[in-house]
A and B are shown apart, each in its own frame.
Chain A
Amino acid sequence: MGLLDKLSCLLGLKKKEVHVLCLGLDNSGKTTIINKLKPANAQSQDIVPTIGFNIEKFRSSSLSFTVFDMSGQGRYRNLWEHYYKEGQAIIFVIDSSDRLRMVVAKEELETLLNHPDIKHRRIPILFFANKMDLRDAVTSVKVSQLLCLENIKDKPWHICASDAIKGEGLQEGVDWLQDQIQAVKT
């Protein structure tokens, strides 16, 4: 990186670009979370189930994120793996109120972690235990227990409880992700 680039980065004029994959079961709130992270004037009002995937952009204090917001529906989940190579970080969203499908989320996470394009990379994973505002929701500690997150030893990971509708807990997660990516880059 040239001196000029570095300077413009520091000044926040031009930011470093990172590709992020947003994964998780359908209805977990992926699109809602990404939407909330965009500047207020770019947010859309109604959110519909994603078909295939969408590409979205948002910025944090020092990074420019390009997010692949994948559809979580069963029939589209086999698309995920085609984007693993390009991803520099993963956001994995879980509906904390869907007790029944926790096993399905766990199964999909295991498949992801065992994929050859992911298995041997130190790629940071941010988990959102989303919909914590709902009555049936379990705590983020319980979510990490149910998904056996403590078994992930070779990748940095972090779990945040979130409420995508009010936007709670999202900033904490993005800050962690930014730190991880910068730690790798510099």
Chain B
Amino acid sequence: MAAASPDSDCGPAESSEANSKWLDAHYDPMANIHTFSSCLALADLHGDGEYKLVVGDLGPREQQPRLKVLKGPMVLTESPLPALPAAAVTFLMGQHEPRTPALALASGPCVYVYKNLRPYFKFSLPPLPANPLEQDLWNQSKEDRIDPPTLKEMLEGIREKAEVPLSVQSLRFLQLEPSEMEAFVSQHKSKVIKRQTVITTMATLKKNLADEGAVSCLVLGTESKEILVLDPEAFTVLTKMNLPSIPAFLDITGQFDVEFLLAAACRDGNIYVLSKDSKRPKYCIELSAQPVGLVRVHKILVVGSTQDSLHGFTHKGKKLWTVPMPAAILTMNLLEQRSRGLQAVMVGLSNGEVRVYRDKALLNIIRAPDAVTSLCFGRYGREDNTLVMTTKGGGLLIKILKRTAVFVEAGGDAGPPPAQSLKLSVPRKTRLYVDQTLRERESATAMHRTFQTDLYLLRLRTARAYVQALESSLSPVSATAREPLKLHAVVQGLGPTFKLTLHLQNTSAARPIVGLLVCFVYSEALYALPRAFFKLPLLVPGLLYPVETLVEGLSDKGVSDIIKVLVLREGQGAPLLSAHINMPVSEGLAST
């Protein structure tokens, strides 16, 4: 959109330099932070009132993943991670003072919990049962009953067919060159096969109090289609729920001990909604595309999809609205301005825009210098309304919402269209209407049958008429393979003299047609034509040949008739095609 119209530039949603709602607090294009919204968290980690930014950094090209903690624009601490981070959250573990939040980082099959930025606990997902066949094969190779090539062959067989996937050990073995196999087998053959799943997403759920600083449980989504809820202090699994697919995004409200609603956007393009005590999904929302983000705004679930649009759903799956986006959605997050009670959703797009929507109304557009891949809004440092963004190129942007900024909806989009509130005068149900409806309900089958019979008859008649038309070449299109021809006629003039123009076209691909004749059949009492029968020139394929002739109307009684045009082949009686021309009434005569 290089040429934006001037009025769209100063619309309320637009952020121009002078009257922007945002203050540019910091921009570092070389910050070297590569992450997604799920790996960003803001919290008062030291309990000193100065909120820090936690970043699970994937590293450039997914190398050297790191945990970074930022204070203002600067990195405070940095430590390497064993695997790529999946999510970062902060939560309160217990009621004891000081009530500083702990930090949890999900990476691979583990959750690393930090308190005061020091490692505190490591939770690992329970291992899954391995395929007994696979274990058996490794046992056999331990006793040297099968050699590595046979082992490989049989493991491949299992990989193709079995329900239970192979363990990491077997998969790594299958990747090896034949020369490396022997060593690998002797090194690993005595190990017990373990199958490990990984964490795909993580969220928090209040334990038993609804207030801001309440103790929260960690909720994990795994690659093995499970949801686990962990105890906030002991990190034991409190409950386990199963999903039909792998969760990618989670959103939870409520309290674990009381009642909660959990929405999981999954990789099969569905959102499953579960509640306390439901081991299986209660509702299923089907998207027609993959979800790219899930945010709850008040009671509405807002989902971004790969079809470049934003959808609003109730938790029971009723679709409320859809808004198309001008570019692909990269990331989403919640914007909550507590002082004004505003909740909105922020959407980072591939064209570098960050859009803010309340329901389907666009509130604000921020143009970032690069595509924004992660977004986070909240208290940072000592400022309540801070927006942290990181870009595709690894840049870090921090913007602060002005104290006086108020989000207003762009004029046109506000509320439902006026027509919606107009009351329609719907007529009352009459006796006749009710009788008719009853009759339709009672004898639906009979009515359907009658209708079908008539329909078949109609089709039969149509087919008959068509065959007849073809047989007598009555149609203006010739269907014979040798002379594919099209004809249409135009009558011009007011009378008594008309001009009749025939447009003839040879519709064959390459073959010219020669030796055609045109013949007009008409009532000689009414019309006179200079030539009623003549030869056509050679017709080149594709060209439109206009053939003009004058028609003199002889009657002065204001009557008109049909003139038939026949196209014939030399030496053949049946016409190739024919057309009936309805001649207009001569106006010239009527006026005299």
CB neighbours of B384 from chain A (8 A): 74
Give the contact stretch, choosing among B21-29, B271-279, B407-415, B548-556: B21-29
Contact A104 B339 (CB under 8 A): no
Within 8 A of B (CB), among A136-158: 136
Instruction: Flag whether B59 is at the interface (Cβ < 8 A).
Output: no
CB neighbours of B109 from chain A (8 A): none
Instruction: Flag whether B240 is at the interface (Cβ < 8 A).
Output: no
Give the contact stretch, choosing among B100-108, B375-383, B486-494, B526-534: B375-383
CB neighbours of A100 from chain B (8 A): 25-26, 72-73, 380-381, 383, 386, 398, 400
Instruction: Flag whether B74 is at the interface (Cβ < 8 A).
Output: yes
Within 8 A of A (CB), among B9-35: 23-26
Task: Tell me which of B49, B74, B383, B400 contacts A136 (CB under 8 A).
Answer: B74
CB neighbours of A108 from chain B (8 A): 403
Contact A101 B339 (CB under 8 A): no
Q: In the bound complex, what is the Cα–Cα distance between A104 and B26 (angstroms)?
A: 12
Assuming A100-B25, A103-B23, A107-B23, is B72 touching A26 (CB within 8 A)? no
A85-112 near B? 1/0 per residue, CB < 8 Å = 0000000000000111111100110000
Contact B25 A75 (CB under 8 A): no
Within the complex, the shortest CB–CB distance from B15 to chain A, in Å, comes to: 15
B544-579 near A? 1/0 per residue, CB < 8 Å = 000000000000000000000000000000000000
Within the complex, the shortest CB–CB distance from B376 to chain A, in Å, comes to: 14
B69-86 near A? 1/0 per residue, CB < 8 Å = 000111000000000000
Within the complex, the shortest CB–CB distance from A103 to chain B, in Å, comes to: 4
Instruction: Flag whether B122 is at the interface (Cβ < 8 A).
Output: no
Instruction: Flag whether A27 is at the interface (Cβ < 8 A).
Output: yes
Contact B383 A104 (CB under 8 A): yes
User: Which residue in chain B gives the minimum CB-CB distance to A49?
Assistant: B49
Contact A98 B403 (CB under 8 A): no
Instruction: Flag whether A77 is at the interface (Cβ < 8 A).
Output: yes
CB neighbours of B26 from chain A (8 A): 99-100
Contact A136 B72 (CB under 8 A): yes
Contact A27 B339 (CB under 8 A): no
CB neighbours of B191 from chain A (8 A): none
CB neighbours of B381 from chain A (8 A): 98, 100-101
Contact B400 A103 (CB under 8 A): yes
Instruction: Flag whether B280 is at the interface (Cβ < 8 A).
Output: no
Contact B49 A101 (CB under 8 A): no
Contact B339 A74 (CB under 8 A): yes
CB neighbours of A74 from chain B (8 A): 339, 384, 403
CB neighbours of B74 from chain A (8 A): 136
Contact A99 B73 (CB under 8 A): yes
Contact B383 A101 (CB under 8 A): yes
Instruction: Flag whether B402 is at the interface (Cβ < 8 A).
Output: yes
Q: Which of A98, A104, A108 has the most CB of B within 10 A?
A: A104
Q: In the bound complex, what is the Cα–Cα distance between A98 and B383 (angstroms)?
A: 10
B386-400 near A? 1/0 per residue, CB < 8 Å = 100000000000101
Q: In the bound complex, what is the Cα–Cα distance between A178 and B403 (angstroms)?
A: 33
Q: Which of A27, A75, A101 has the most CB of B within 10 A?
A: A101
Contact A104 B400 (CB under 8 A): yes
Q: In the bound complex, what is the Cα–Cα distance between A26 and B400 (angstroms)?
A: 15
CB neighbours of B49 from chain A (8 A): 27
The B interface, classified by DSSP as helix, strand, loop or mixed, is strand
Q: In the bound complex, what is the Cα–Cα distance between A80 and B73 (angstroms)?
A: 29
User: Which residue in chain A gives the minimum CB-CB distance to B22?
Assistant: A103
Within 8 A of A (CB), among B43-63: 49
Q: Which of B24, B72, B380 has the most CB of A within 10 A?
A: B72
Q: Which of A25, A27, A99, A100 has the most CB of B within 10 A?
A: A100
User: Which residue in chain A gives the minimum CB-CB distance to B400?
Assistant: A104
Q: In the bound complex, what is the Cα–Cα distance between A77 and B402 (angstroms)?
A: 12
Q: In the bound complex, what is the Cα–Cα distance between A77 and B400 (angstroms)?
A: 16
CB neighbours of A75 from chain B (8 A): 339
Q: In the bound complex, what is the Cα–Cα distance between A107 and B404 (angstroms)?
A: 11
User: Which residue in chain A gives the minimum CB-CB distance to B72?
Assistant: A100
CB neighbours of A77 from chain B (8 A): 403
Q: In the bound complex, what is the Cα–Cα distance between A27 and B383 (angstroms)?
A: 11
Contact A103 B24 (CB under 8 A): yes
Q: In the bound complex, what is the Cα–Cα distance between A26 and B403 (angstroms)?
A: 13
Within the complex, the shortest CB–CB distance from B387 to chain A, in Å, comes to: 12
CB neighbours of A136 from chain B (8 A): 72, 74
CB neighbours of B24 from chain A (8 A): 103
Contact B25 A27 (CB under 8 A): no
Within 8 A of B (CB), among A53-93: 74-75, 77
Within the complex, the shortest CB–CB distance from B44 to chain A, in Å, comes to: 13
CB neighbours of B23 from chain A (8 A): 103-104, 107
Within the complex, the shortest CB–CB distance from A130 to chain B, in Å, comes to: 14
CB neighbours of A102 from chain B (8 A): 25
Contact A101 B402 (CB under 8 A): no
Q: In the bound complex, what is the Cα–Cα distance between A13 and B181 (angstroms)?
A: 99
CB neighbours of B72 from chain A (8 A): 98-100, 136
CB neighbours of B25 from chain A (8 A): 100-104
Within the complex, the shortest CB–CB distance from B73 to chain A, in Å, comes to: 6
Within the complex, the shortest CB–CB distance from A140 to chain B, in Å, comes to: 19
Within the complex, the shortest CB–CB distance from B352 to chain A, in Å, comes to: 22
Q: In the bound complex, what is the Cα–Cα distance between A56 and B380 (angstroms)?
A: 31
Within the complex, the shortest CB–CB distance from A108 to chain B, in Å, comes to: 8
CB neighbours of A27 from chain B (8 A): 49, 382
CB neighbours of A103 from chain B (8 A): 23-25, 400
Q: In the bound complex, what is the Cα–Cα distance between A27 and B381 (angstroms)?
A: 11
A111-127 near B? 1/0 per residue, CB < 8 Å = 00000000000000000
CB neighbours of A98 from chain B (8 A): 72, 381-382
User: Which residue in chain A gives the minimum CB-CB distance to B74?
Assistant: A136
CB neighbours of B382 from chain A (8 A): 25-27, 98, 101
CB neighbours of A26 from chain B (8 A): 382
Within the complex, the shortest CB–CB distance from A112 to chain B, in Å, comes to: 13
User: Which residue in chain A gives the minimum CB-CB distance to B23?
Assistant: A103
CB neighbours of A104 from chain B (8 A): 23, 25, 383, 400, 403
Within the complex, the shortest CB–CB distance from A100 to chain B, in Å, comes to: 4
User: Which residue in chain B gives the minimum CB-CB distance to A26?
Assistant: B382
B415-443 near A? 1/0 per residue, CB < 8 Å = 00000000000000000000000000000
Told that A100-B381, A100-B383 touch, could you supply 16 new A-B pairs with CB distance under 8 A? A26-B382, A27-B382, A98-B72, A98-B382, A99-B72, A100-B72, A100-B380, A100-B386, A100-B398, A101-B382, A101-B383, A102-B25, A103-B25, A103-B400, A104-B383, A107-B402
Q: Which 8 A-B pairs have the closest CB atoms?
A: A103-B23, A100-B72, A100-B381, A100-B25, A103-B25, A99-B72, A74-B403, A27-B382
**Sampled A-B contacts (5; CB under 8 Å):** A75-B339, A100-B25, A101-B381, A102-B25, A104-B400
